[in-house]
Amino acid sequence: MTKNMLVGKTIKAINLDVSGDAIQFLLDDESIVKAVADGDCCSHTWIEDVLDPEAAIGSEVLEADDIDLPDHLCEPTKHGHDEDEMEYYGFAIKTAKGVCTIAYRNSSNGYYGGSLSWPGGYFYGGVFGQNGVNESWKLIAGSI
């Protein structure tokens, strides 16, 4: 398994696309890493919450990987997507300061799923343009 590109880096700021379709990490070397919420055909994936984002700021990333969300984070969506089935996903960024959890969702008819797509990785993109990012960023932690 390949380690995530954030491992060994220090995050200076975290920005979330206002649509929830992507998250952006500004690193201390001023480079930017963007992960896009990617839904399979006929589904939609979005970032629902970023929990304890300050744990990821200013300390070297020790681990960064997909996780199973605890039950209390697998609640109905606050964004009102009305598909038949909802899947709940998580991604954890661990530093010496704690764990920042990205909780993201996928809504579909039950046959499709979603993921976070990192630079250089697979990005489905969707057949109906459902995985577009408007790139209107909102600072959620750190400073630019």
pLDDT digits (tens, 9 = 90+) for 52-76: 999 999 999 999 999 999 998 887 7
* Cβ count within 10 A of residue 12: 19
For residue 86, the model assigns a pLDDT of: 84
Average pLDDT rounded to a whole number, residues 37-52: 86
SS (H, E, C) 26-57: EECCCCEEEEEEEECCCCEEEEEEEECHHHHE
Residue 126: pLDDT above 60? no
Average pLDDT rounded to a whole number, residues 112-122: 76
For residue 74, the model assigns a pLDDT of: 86
Is 45 in contact with 79 (CB distance < 8 Å)? Answer: no
Average model confidence (pLDDT) across the chain:
85
Which of the 8 DSSP states describes residue 137? E
Distance of CA 96 to the CA centre of its chain: 20
Instruction: Check residues 111 and 90 and name the one with the higher pLDDT.
Output: 90
DSSP reduced 3-state for 22: strand
Residue-range domain boundaries for the chain: 11-117
For residue 98, the model assigns a pLDDT of: 98
For residue 89, the model assigns a pLDDT of: 94
Residue 121: pLDDT above 80? no
Residue 107: pLDDT above 90? no
